[in-house]
Amino acid sequence: MAIIPTNKLMPGMVLKSAVNDITGRLLLGKGVEIGQKHLTIFKTWGITEVDIEGDVEDDAVKEDGVIQVDEETLCKAREEVLELFAFTDMDNSTITKEIFHLSVQHKIDRLNGV
């Protein structure tokens, strides 16, 4: 699994999770193979990152903008950070959603001793 910035996406990658816009409208469903037109849609709607199935091709490292993490660590980090965001409206705020994702990334780093 990889959470990857949309500017690093390549056609042929498959979504692990659905992608929604700021209003919650579904832009692309879970399991869909990303095509060039989808990259344009993500850019148009301000989608900054998506969850991709499988491993990213060249075992990308964090400085390349890709975060490789095992499922257990990701779930633990999300659960702990979600407690801090319990009273926020992540579904309707792109900024809050982005801060949440950055917080999860930071928590993963701390859990991994980085």
Neighbouring C-beta atoms of residue 7, cutoff 10 Å? 11
**Whole-number pLDDT of residue 114:** 60
Over residues 2-25, the pLDDT tens digits come to 788 888 888 889 999 999 888 888
Say what the pTM is.
0.51
Regarding whether 35 and 11 lie in a shared domain, the answer is: yes
Over residues 28-49, the pLDDT tens digits come to 999 999 999 998 888 888 888 8
55 pLDDT tier (thresholds 50, 70, 90): low
CA-based torsion, 108, 30, 93, 22: positive or negative: positive
Task: Specify the amino acid at residue 11.
Answer: P
- The residues pairing with 111 across neighbouring beta strands, listed in sequence order, are none
Regarding whether 50 and 89 lie in a shared domain, the answer is: no
User: Rounded mean pLDDT of 67-74?
Assistant: 75
Count up the domains in the chain and report the number: 2
Residues belonging to the chain: 114
Domain membership of residue 2 as a residue range: 1-67
User: Is-contact 15 2, C-beta < 8 A?
Assistant: no
- The residues pairing with 33 across neighbouring beta strands, listed in sequence order, are 14
Regarding whether 43 and 21 lie in a shared domain, the answer is: yes
